[in-house]
Amino acid sequence: MTERPEQLRDRATVAPEAVAGSLEAFPREAGVVGETLRSFEGERRSAAVAAVAARLTDDDVIVRRGAALALRTCFEVHPETDPAVATELARSLADDDHVVRKHAGTALRDVAVQDPETADAAVDSLPELLDPASPDLLSVGLDIAAVVAESDPDAAVPLVPPLLDALDALADSAAGQSGGSDDVTARSPAAREFRRRQATELGRQRDRIVGVVNETLGARPEAVSSVRPALVDALRSESVGVARATLAETLGQVAESDPAAAAGTTDDLAALLDDADAAVATSAAWALGILADTHGQRVADAVAADVDALAALLDAEAPGARVASATLLAYVAENRPDAVDPAIDSLVAALDDANPDVRASAVLALGDAGTERALADLRTVATDDPDERVQTTAQTVLGRIAADE
């Protein structure tokens, strides 16, 4: 006769299969089965956990749900288990039942936090959890992905494309929600609060996705080439919103640590310089400026057609945008002085910018590309600029010009 789970809890000698059999007989009491597993110790718990994990492949979905919930309940308190059990949980992430995936994913997350190596078992199935249509699954999936990225960046690289796909889908979901804001029901206080919470959660999930991508590519910059198609799609997708600027910054960080790895994205970044979102254009200009340190000619050639966009950034309100633009224009002027001609007037105006970094970069750009038109202005900067560093830069540029005459 099969006994109920709670009747097994305090028995000192109970076969592990008895717990699993109790689960099969009373699958809706899976929470109690999990508590029973909690009450066991050492090898007794391990054996019982393995027996319950074997039910994750049962033909009856109710039993599979029960097994996943029982393991989740156990691992909330005792997240240690055999790698074979972690593998069974990972396989269950691809189960066709949402509830099984949710409980198995949560159980595996708790195990992975305790033992990060077990998270690697989930890499192949983890995309099944990265479902923006199911925020609870997505949250668990991102928890596991974060563990993988931190403990084994190599294993996390294949997760970058599905993470970026999820990012795009999240953006589409947010756009769809905002699109119904004129409905009468959407104007009620309760509906507005619900949408506010949804928007907050969507933003949080978006930030977490970008965080995992950043950590992965920061640790493995050479992987940029293998994930470039997904990365470029995300950068071009206007619906992704502010995350696009952060992804462009990620490429700048890659350029700092591994310029060769980021060089292949030069044209992709250049295409963002005239983006309608100034933050995206600024991040792209900043990343290209870093790349120009080692790939000046390549960057200059890619940016040559977008000098007007950089000139427009020189008038941006944000100091960072003006610095990024002026710095990049200085690199372009050094390598392709003819290409900077459309920006000369804007660079001359930038000599009066409040930020000394902008003024210094404008001096360098004008020294290479706008000498005749800007000579008088450069002389004024060399004597009157309030920043000694900017004065020195202008004096050096004027000395070089005089030597070349």
Cα four-point dihedral sign 169, 172, 178, 182: negative
Do the domain assignments include residue 56?
Answer: yes
| CA gap 363, 303 in Å, rounded | 19
Distance CA 333, CA 364 (A): 8
**The whole model's pTM is what?**
0.82
**Percent of all residues in the chain with a pLDDT value above 70, rounded to a whole number:** 90
Top mean pLDDT of 15-19, 26-30, 187-191, 380-384 is at 380-384
SS (H, E, C) the chain: CCCCHHHHCCCCCCCHHHHHHHHHHCHHHHHHHHHHHHHCCHHHHHHHHHHHHHHHHCCCHHHHHHHHHHHHHHHCCCCCCCHHHHHHHHHHCCCCCHHHHHHHHHHHHHHHHHCHHHHHHHCCCHHHCCCCCCHHHHHHHHHHHHHHHHHCHHHHHHHHHHHHHHHHHHHHHHHHHHHCCCCCHHHCHHHHHHHHHHHHHHHHHHHHHHHHHHHHHHHCHHHHHHHHHHHHHHHHCHHHCCHHHHHHHHHHHHHHHCHHHHHCCHHHHHCCCCCCCHHHHHHHHHHHHHHHHHHHHHHHHHHHHHHHHHHHHCCCCCHHHHHHHHHHHHHHHHHCHHHHHHHHHHHHHHCCCCCHHHHHHHHHHHHHHCHHHHHHHHHHHHHHCCCHHHHHHHHHHHHHHHHHC
Q: Which residues contact 283 (CB under 8 A, 6 or more apart)?
A: 244, 245, 246, 248, 249, 252, 272, 324
Query: Are 80 and 115 a contacting pair, CB within 8 Å?
Result: yes
Q: Are the beta carbons of 20 and 54 closer than 8 angstroms?
A: yes
Whether residues 1 and 145 share a domain: the answer is yes
Note whether residue 286 is domain-resident.
Answer: no
Domain boundary pick from 237, 264, 291: 264
Judge contact between 353 and 318, C-beta under 8 A: no
Write out the residue range of the structural domain in which residue 374 sits.
302-405
Q: What is the pLDDT of residue 10?
A: 57
Please check whether residue 245 lies inside any domain of the structure. yes
Alpha-carbon torsion, ordered 182, 183, 188, 192, to 10 deg: -60
Using the structure block, give the residue that is written with the tokens 């796909």.
165
Same domain, 157 and 146: no
Residues 200 and 228 in one domain: yes
288 lies in some domain: no
pLDDT bin (cut points 50, 70, 90) of residue 2 is low
Burial class for 41, CB neighbours closer than 10 Å (0-12, 13-18, 19+): exposed
Structural domain count of the chain: 3
Q: Looking at the structure, tell me whether residues 48 and 144 fall in a common domain.
A: yes
Asked if residue 274 belongs to a domain, the reply is no
Which pLDDT band, with edges at 50, 70 and 90, does 172 fall under?
low
- Are 111 and 195 in the same domain? no
Per-residue pLDDT at 1? 41
Q: Picking from 10-19, 322-331, 343-352, 388-397, which range would have the lowest pLDDT averaged per residue? A: 10-19
Co-location of 4 and 17 in the same domain: yes
* Residue-level pLDDT at 162: 94
353 pLDDT above the threshold of 50: yes
